[in-house]
Structure 1
Amino acid sequence: MKLLTDEMGINSPSLYAEFGDKHGLYLEAINSYASNDACTPLVALESIPEIEQAVRAFFEAVIDYSTHHASGAKGCFLVSCVATSAGHVEGTAELLRDAIASTDKRIAARFEQEVSLGKLPKNFPCADRAKLMFDLRQGMVFRARAGFSDEQLARDIDKNVKSVLANPEG
Structure 2
Amino acid sequence: MSKLPKKTGRPRAYDPDQALQQARCVFWDGGFSSTSLDDISAATSMNRPSLYGAFGDKEALYLKTLERYRDESLGALRDALSPDRPLKEGLHLVYSRSLDTYLAGERSARGCFLIGTATVEAVNHPEIRAILSGSLDAFEGVIENRLQIAVERGELERQTDTVALSRFLSVVMHSLAVRARAGQSREVLDDIARSAVDLVCGSKTRAETR
Correspondent of 2:92 among 56, 67, 77: 56
Distance in structure 2 (CA, Å) of the matches to 1:31 and 1:157: 26
- Aligned AA (1:86): A
Mind listing any 5+ residue stretches in structure 1 that lack a counterpart?
A: none
TM-score (norm 2): 0.67
> 2:161 aligned with 1:159, yes or no?
no
Contact 1:74 1:145 (8 Å CA) reproduced: yes
1:68-110 residue CA offsets vs partner (Å, 9 max, x unmatched): x144442221022112221133411111000000000011111
Q: Name the SS for the 2:102 alignment partner.
A: helix
Distance in structure 1 (CA, Å) of the matches to 2:133 and 2:153: 30
Residues 144 and 39 (structure 1), Cα distance of their counterparts in 2 relative to 1, 3 Å cut: farther
Q: Name the SS for the 2:125 alignment partner.
A: coil
> 2:86 aligned with 1:25, yes or no?
no
> 2:136 aligned with 1:100, yes or no?
yes
Mind listing any 5+ residue stretches in structure 2 that lack a counterpart?
A: 1-36, 203-210
Contact 2:92 2:193 (8 Å CA) reproduced: yes
Correspondent of 2:116 among 62, 75, 80: 80
Residues 151 and 48 (structure 1), Cα distance of their counterparts in 2 relative to 1, 3 Å cut: farther
1:44-70 residue CA offsets vs partner (Å, 9 max, x unmatched): 233760111111222222332222x14
Query: Residues 1-170 of structure 1 correspond to what in structure 2 (within 5 A)?
Result: 1-2=37-38, 4-5=40-41, 8=44, 10-37=46-73, 40=76, 43-46=79-82, 49-67=85-103, 69-71=104-106, 72-165=108-201
Distance in structure 1 (CA, Å) of the matches to 2:120 and 2:62: 13
Distance in structure 2 (CA, Å) of the matches to 1:47 and 1:2: 45
Aligned residue pairs, count: 165
Bigger CA radius of gyration: 2
